Amino acid sequence: MIRSLNAGVSGLQQFQTRLDVIGNNIANSSTLGYKAGRVDFGDSFSQTLRASSGGTGGRLSLPGQQIGSGVTTAAIRNNFNQGAVAQTSVNTDLAINGDGYFIVRDSITGSEFATRAGNFNVDENGYLVTSQGYRLQGYNDLELSTVGDLKVDASVRPSTAGADAKMDGYTITSNGQIRVRLDDENSTEYNRGQILLQRFSGPQMLTKEGHNLYSGIAAAGPLGGSESPKPEAPSTNGLGQIQTGALESSNVDLTSEFANLIITQRGFQASARIITTSDEILQEVVSLKR
């Protein structure tokens, strides 16, 4: 009887965990670049009443007898499939069509994070930054050789450009190049830098840090290895292309989430019923002697 009580309690605990994950998915159904979570259950430790034995000397083989002790949460995984891409027509809104993550850096601590959310903007110093001020990473020189914080300005320019020319506009191409246009007599246009992307062989090792950011880059099997991860240009090494003026939406499927919500609710109720029934039987046992 105690075993059934423990099994019922474990069911309540694990279905509550699943309910928490489903609730978080639904709450983030409109969060840019959000990846839905999923709870995988596993059976808990089983008590062996009789070990299995093979048949010998004409004796029949006997299967083992085990009674499980309930359920446990085996894993909470993220679905890293791409979400729908929506057009915004904002120059600094970027979506990745295909595999890959933007890499952003906290300029104060130096910590780097991966993200699929491309709602960047240009700050007062010309850096491409997230809503938290983290700077987008890529090649930040004319030779496209030095990786660092990306800028959208005319502070670095070809020697042929006018000395007093100012930036007249810019575009970001599908391969991540930041094309700056000057207002000199030749309307000089050149590559100010290039956005780089990172991909992972084990994205399940990434850790959600909030604000659409992931840490644990080294543990997730990045390009270049865990010791020195090396992001690369879009459309190379299996990386996707960058779509300018667009954002990736959450990949939460509300239809599936509400269906799972109903299943989880019924599972929770069934587990609670196990506890109630076990309690009623224990009460009968206690009442045998009056």
| pLDDT per residue as tens digits for the range 108-156 | 999 999 999 999 999 999 999 999 999 999 999 999 999 999 999 998 8
pLDDT of 202 reads 94
- What are 240-255's pLDDT values in tens digits? 999 999 999 999 999 9
Alpha-carbon distance of 180 to 167, in angstroms, equals 7
Instruction: Quote the mean pLDDT of the chain.
Output: 92
User: 252 with 236: CB under 8 angstroms?
Assistant: no
Comparison of pLDDT for 105 and 50, the residue scoring more: 105
pTM: 0.87
Give the mean pLDDT of 166-183.
94
Q: How confident is the model at residue 58 (pLDDT cuts 50, 70, 90)?
A: low
- Residue 65 scores a pLDDT above 70: yes
Statement: residue 195 has pLDDT above 90: yes
pLDDT at 235: 94
Q: What pLDDT does 164 receive?
A: 85
Q: How confident is the model at residue 44 (pLDDT cuts 50, 70, 90)?
A: confident
Segment 268-277 shows an average pLDDT of 94
Please state, for a pLDDT cut of 90, what percent of the chain lies above it.
Answer: 77
pLDDT at residue 48 above 90?
Answer: no
- Tens of pLDDT, residue by residue over 205-223, are 999 999 999 999 999 999 9
What's the pLDDT at 181?
93
- In contact, 213 and 101? CB cutoff 8 Å: no
What is the arithmetic mean of pLDDT over 19-26? 97
Q: What pLDDT does residue 112 have?
A: 97
